[in-house]
Structure 1
Amino acid sequence: MTDRHLLSGTEPDLARDAGHPEPPPRVGFFTDTSVCIGCKACEVACKEWNAIPQDGLSLTGMSYDNTQGLGASTWRHVAFIEQQKPQVPAPDGRTRLPLVEAESDPSDGAGGELRWLMSSDVCKHCTHAACLDVCPTGSLFRTEFGTVVVQEDICNGCGYCVPACPYGVIEQRPSDGRAFKCTMCYDRLGAGQEPACAKACPTESIQFGPLDELRERAALRVDQLHAAGVDDARLYGHEPDDGVGGDGAFFLLLDKPEVYGLPPNPVVTTRDLPTMWKHAGAAALSLAGGLAVSFALPALLGEKRKGTR
């Protein structure tokens, strides 16, 4: 029993199992939200390079954000999350940064300090990509870099991929019904260049490179933040044995995933397909057996009656 073409679990050789004989190292994004300044340079660069149409200027009133979320015309989205954090004096008398979690008494009348959690969200390029698994036309495919890309000229607009994504990333464009999402600038990768969003990020919040190297770098960054007193710093989507087999785009967060609009424990929606097909097959066999008996029994009873005459 080999590990090829699994729908869940650890996948050690992703691109090769997808049919690429000599693939390069798998690449991805590491987004360090602790240094994101919300400039939206990544959004602009993504739109400009990929010629993505505008998606309106409808502010929600809940944030300084007009793009609101990922979609067919928003492949990078910078979230602005406003939080009140208590202002607590540090042991040396200085004001503790609002970045640090601290205990507070709501009855003391202190309103706390405002902090913004800013995070550039993107398609996760899952190891086990349900959108790819359910696509009936082959429009979605796994590249030699381990990324997942939509071929817009093959997409028939069926929309199966939309509910399949555990992150709600992929979306159909209302104008023609076809699905679109981040390609991790597949054309740039083929030319040896980094994606446009990572190239444009002024603080290196978005880092691009071989996925294994990024995971090591991210672990060191978390240790650094913990040593500085930022106890809430955590990684999201980096584990190769999580519900989607690990993400090709993972994040360093400063609060729980739910605060950023991310599912806390994402699971690939096609994980149970083999079991479901087994049950469906067993049910079909039972139905076929019942039908066969229902047709054969009257004939057998008729023969028995003839024999007793």
Structure 2
Amino acid sequence: MAGDAGSAPAAGDTLEPEPPPRVGFFTDTSVCIGCKACEVACKEWNALPEDGLTLSGMSYDNTQQLGASTWRHVAFIEQSAPAAPPVPAPEGRTELPVAEAAQSAGGDGELRWLMASDVCKHCTHAACLDVCPTGSLFRTEFGTVVVQEDICNGCGYCVPACPYGVIEQRPSDGRAFKCTLCYDRLSVGQEPACAKACPTESIQFGPLDELRERAALRVDQLHQAGVSDARLYGHDPADGVGGDSAFFLLLDEPEVYGLPPDPVVTTRDLPAMWRHAGAAAASLLGGCLLAFAASSTRNGKGTRA
């Protein structure tokens, strides 16, 4: 399974003798304006098909979830909540007029939007890698997880293995698809298309260790400003997936954003399961050998008689 999170690529499965620092995304949802520029940039760069243009009737969000053709998804979460303290801009950034207007429109209680751009987490302990029988899924030198669709046989094992429900099979041919963290762009020194297109720097790309430091400072800034619900999600190398390459600053519980509160790599118990299966098989084989030996002994006595 996987190795340490941090600067080195996860799982030690890259073949690079001196791999570059592990990279990822830090998504600061407190400055997301829901423009969906990341969704559009992702689709344009990766030539992804459209998902249908029908609104759900429940939200301004028409894509609704990540899938085989939606590798970036901006969630729109509408909440009726008591007036909250204003969310300050990150250090050195100009306050957004849109945010100021939304914060001043409250009264006794206000409507607030929690907007967040979701993506594959590129887990340190990636269960999808563990279960893929063809090697279609592999770990890059940047510590990210990529699907090679030309090798995928459509078995679908990776779909239930993902603790975040990110991977999906495309109905037209059954192959699995997900975010590659723009591996082709990283290979030539460019940042991913979604981060490049984000106008508020809600999606930040860079070395994972630097992003974690930056995220911790941002949470401290929000707490000092009275935004007590600000928290990080997916940043901890000691969590159930060994930390994510794509982690988030949230303004409410993870469940509000449709994220599992305590994700665990789904193949965590596989080694123990194989050990138990091996012990059971050995016991069964031993029983068969004893039965065969006992039968041979009885037959031998009968022959001599």
Aligned counterpart, 1:17: 12
- Compute the TM-score of the two structures, normalised by the length of structure 1: 0.88
2:213 to 213, 216, 221: 216
Q: Deviations over 1:59-96 (max 9, x none)?
A: 22221111010000000000000111123799xxxxx9
- 1:1-309 residue pairs with structure 2 within 5 A? 6-7=1-2, 10-11=4-5, 13-14=8-9, 17-18=12-13, 19-87=15-83, 112-306=109-303, 309=305
TM-score, normalised relative to structure 2: 0.89
The aligned residue for residue 89 of structure 2 is none
Kindly indicate whether the alpha-carbon contact (under 8 Å) linking 2:219 and 2:249 is maintained by their aligned counterparts in 1: yes
Distance in 2 (alpha carbons) for counterparts of 1:168 and 1:21? 33
Residue pair 2:45, 2:193 contacting (<8 A) in 1 also = yes
Distance 1:130 1:269 in 2: 6
Any unmatched runs of 5+ in structure 2? Answer: 87-99
Q: Is this contact kept in 1: 2:10–2:124, CA < 8 A? A: no
CA shift for structure 1 position 260? 0.2
Q: Contact (CA 8 Å) 1:134, 1:164: kept in 2 or not?
A: yes
**Structure 1 residue 306, shift from structure 2 partner:** 4.8
Q: Which amino acid aligns with 1:254?
A: L
Name the Cα RMSD after superposition. Answer: 2.1
Change over 3 Å in CA distance of 1:189–1:115 after alignment to 2 = same
Give the direction of change, closer, same or farther, for the CA distance of 1:242–1:16 in structure 2 (3 Å limit): closer
**One-letter amino acid of the structure 1 residue matched with residue 17 of structure 2:** P
CA deviations over 1:185-234 (Å, ceiling 9, x no partner): 00110111100000000000000000000000000000000000000000
1:163–1:16 CA distance, 2 compared to 1 (3 A): closer
Alpha carbons of structure 1 residues 226 and 271: separation in structure 2 relative to 1, 3 Å: same
| 1:58 alignment partner, SS class | coil
Q: Secondary structure at the match of 1:296?
A: helix
